[in-house]
């Protein structure tokens, strides 16, 4: 809420030489922050320009897509219904009888080797 | 130089940055000649075919009395640590469903937990803006609690995520609401490096998730409320190696793809995406039409890849857990509609180290273990 400056000031102040009230600290901090922000932006501009240069010789996405497809092949994966071997017997532990003094639970094994 | 002149320079520099970013975006768009699904289809691939009962919930871990927020497996296959709104960490033997440790936390608002590579310690963090380390072999105190062995302080915001560096027992990375990630030396409690913060290429909002590259543990990726993922080299804290745009909402979860050259993300915009680490290309968007109005669109809370990378598991706020065929970008199973599924939001999930089981954690207070119980064909 704006207040009348004269009411707030008990003593008369000398007329300031600037058209607006001097706030030295505020101005200094404002300039400092702005300068720092501008430095950061200039640095960012350099990085972005370097990135644009890099993009000129960058391979298209199809190359990486091919690599993704190839990387999933030939790897044995316990959670896939069809998977390259070897099948690790430890995968079946989740369905084997678990000796436990606290529980009589066991889980039926629904696997490929049940005849 | 006057303030007015500086302001003009600031405006001009901002305009240049924006224009360069726009040019980069357009150049990148031109390089996207295909996505993974279109390429895979052109190579004659077809989607994985699951029977609805192939992935079975074979354990339900009950014990938390509040929402489960986070979980992590040990490298030695069968143990899991979970963190809950009830202010506790529980360590489970996932095979027997037994609780081996229950740790009551000083700060009950925990958001994340992680197992140390040797399985002897666990870390957690949350609204106390700190990361607490507990040695599971410690003598319990007179209240039966495991005392905290180290508190990592320094973040100026909540700790949303933490992960131990895979081959180093003593190093841990956290991500925070203070917009930074930090690499810690757990033995001394010192910050080794701070990623982001005052430097221009850091995240500009809360950092919600991290994932360390297991093929090259110097590299990690972070996901943020600023809608980007960023790649970092732990040896170069001054600048992110890359920034990945595309998401239209908070990036809640990031996870490296098994080949260590790509990573996946999940977001409030309801999509998952796959990015190429080196080029920055967005290789695939995993997006499903959802029924209901726009206000109801579920967010992706957590993701994990199966050990080959062929499957992408994604947990959603709706309680769904979609199993995506990574190559074909199709949902091949929904664990949220399986028998025995969770009854509320899936908040976290993770694969066992041998890839034989998936653990999901939920706001229904339970964790569930899923494994393949169908007929497996080994070729």
Q: How do residues A60-89 score in pLDDT, each as one tens digit?
A: 999 999 999 999 999 999 999 999 988 999
In this complex, is the C-beta atom of A115 within 8 Å of any C-beta atom belonging to chain B? no
Q: Which residue of A has its CA nearest to B45?
A: A69
Contacts of B114 (CB under 8 A, 6+ apart): B72, B81, B122, B123, B124, B162, B163, B164, B172
CA of A11, closest CA in chain B: separation in Å? 31
A60–B32 C-beta distance less than 8 A:
yes
Q: Sketch the domain layout of chain A as residue ranges.
A: 30-72
The fold of the B35-372 domain, in CATH, is Methylamine Dehydrogenase; Chain H (2.130.10)
The pLDDT, as a whole number, for residue B292 is: 63
pLDDT of residue B356: 96
Q: Residue B159 has which token pair?
A: 């700790």
* Substitution target from A28, A51, A79 for chain B, most B beta carbons within 10 A: A79
Query: Given CB atoms, is A94 within the 8 Å cutoff of chain B?
Result: yes
The CB-side HSE value for B232 (13 A sphere, CA atoms) comes to: 31
Which residues does chain A have within 8 Å of residue B371's beta carbon, measured at their own beta carbons?
A: 78-79, 91, 94-95
What average pLDDT does the structure give for chain B?
Answer: 94
Q: Under an 8 A CB cutoff, do A71 and B378 touch?
A: no
Distance from CA of B156 to the nearest CA of A (A): 21
Q: Which CA distances in Å does B158 have to B206, B233, B330?
A: 9, 23, 35
Distance between B57 CA and the closest CA of chain A, angstroms: 10
ipTM field: 0.92
Mean pLDDT, rounded, for A92-101? 77
User: Which chain A residues in 51-70 lie under 8 Å from chain B, judged by CB atoms?
Assistant: 51-52, 55, 58-62, 64-69
Cα separation, B334 vs B322, whole angstroms: 5
Q: Min CA distance, B14 vs chain A (Å)?
A: 7
- Whose tokens are 């702005």? That residue is A34
B264: which residues sit within 8 A by CB, 6+ positions away? Answer: B254, B255, B256, B257, B272, B273, B274, B275, B303, B305, B312
Of B109, B337, B120, B11, nearest in space to A41 by CA: B11
Write out pLDDT tens, residues B70-88: 999 998 879 999 999 999 9
Angle, helix A24-56 to helix B3-31, in steps of 10 degrees? 20
**Which tens digits make up the pLDDT trace of B294-342?**
677 899 999 999 999 999 999 999 999 999 999 999 999 999 998 889 9
Least confident of A48-52, B127-131, B287-291: B287-291
Average pLDDT over residues B92-114: 95
How many pairs of residues across A and B have Cβ atoms under 8 Å apart?
A: 218
Q: How much is the pLDDT for B293?
A: 62
Question: Which pTM does this prediction carry?
Answer: 0.88
- How far apart CA B193 and CA B183 sit, in angstroms, is 5
């Amino acid at each position: 809420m704006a207040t009348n400056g004269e009411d707030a000031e008990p003593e008369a102040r000398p007329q300031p030489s600037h058209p607006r009230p001097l706030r030295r600290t505020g101005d200094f901090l404002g300039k400092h922050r702005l300068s720092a922000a501008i430095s950061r932006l200039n640095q960012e501009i350099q990085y972005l320009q370097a990135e644009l240069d890099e993009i000129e010789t960058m391979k298209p996405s199809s190359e990486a897509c091919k690599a993704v497809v190839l990387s999933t092949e030939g790897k044995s994966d316990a959670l896939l219904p069809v998977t390259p071997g070897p099948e690790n017997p430890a995968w079946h532990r989740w369905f084997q009888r678990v000796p436990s003094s606290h529980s009589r639970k066991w889980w039926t094994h629904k696997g490929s080797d049940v005849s | 130089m006057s303030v007015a002149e500086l302001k003009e320079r600031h405006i001009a520099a901002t305009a240049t940055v924006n224009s360069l970013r726009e040019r980069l975006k357009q150049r990148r768009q031109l390089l996207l000649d295909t996505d993974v699904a279109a390429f895979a289809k052109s190579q004659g691939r077809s989607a994985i075919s699951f029977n609805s009962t192939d992935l079975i919930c074979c354990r339900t871990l009950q014990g938390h009395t509040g929402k489960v927020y986070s979980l992590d497996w040990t490298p030695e296959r069968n143990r899991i640590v979970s963190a809950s709104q009830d202010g506790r960490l529980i360590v489970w033997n996932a095979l027997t469903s037994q609780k081996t440790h229950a740790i009551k936390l000083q700060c009950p608002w925990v958001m994340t937990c992680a197992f140390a590579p040797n399985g002897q310690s666990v870390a957690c963090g949350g609204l106390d803006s700190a990361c607490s380390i507990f040695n599971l072999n410690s003598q319990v105190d007179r209240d039966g609690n495991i005392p905290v062995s180290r508190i990592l302080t320094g973040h100026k915001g909540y700790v949303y995520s933490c992960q131990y560096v895979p081959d180093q027992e003593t190093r841990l990375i956290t991500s925070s609401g203070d917009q930074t990630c930090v690499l810690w030396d757990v033995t001394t409690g010192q910050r080794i490096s701070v990623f982001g913060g005052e430097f221009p290429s850091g995240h500009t909002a809360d950092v919600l998730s991290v994932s360390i590259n297991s093929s090259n543990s110097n590299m990690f990726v972070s996901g943020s409320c600023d809608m980007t993922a960023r790649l970092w080299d732990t040896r170069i804290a001054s600048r992110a190696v890359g920034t990945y745009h595309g998401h239209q909402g908070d990036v809640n979860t990031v996870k490296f793809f098994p080949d260590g050259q790509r990573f996946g993300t999940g977001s409030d915009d309801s999509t998952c995406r796959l990015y190429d680490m080196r080029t920055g290309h967005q290789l695939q968007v995993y997006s499903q039409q959802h029924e209901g109005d726009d206000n109801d669109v579920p967010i992706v809370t957590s993701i994990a890849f199966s050990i080959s990378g062929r499957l992408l598991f994604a947990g959603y706020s709706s309680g769904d857990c979609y199993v995506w065929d990574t190559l074909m970008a199709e949902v091949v199973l929904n664990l949220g509609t399986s028998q025995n599924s969770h009854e509320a939001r899936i908040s976290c999930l993770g694969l066992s180290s041998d890839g034989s089981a998936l653990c999901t954690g939920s706001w229904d207070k339970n964790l569930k273990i899923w494994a393949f119980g169908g007929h497996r064909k080994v070729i």
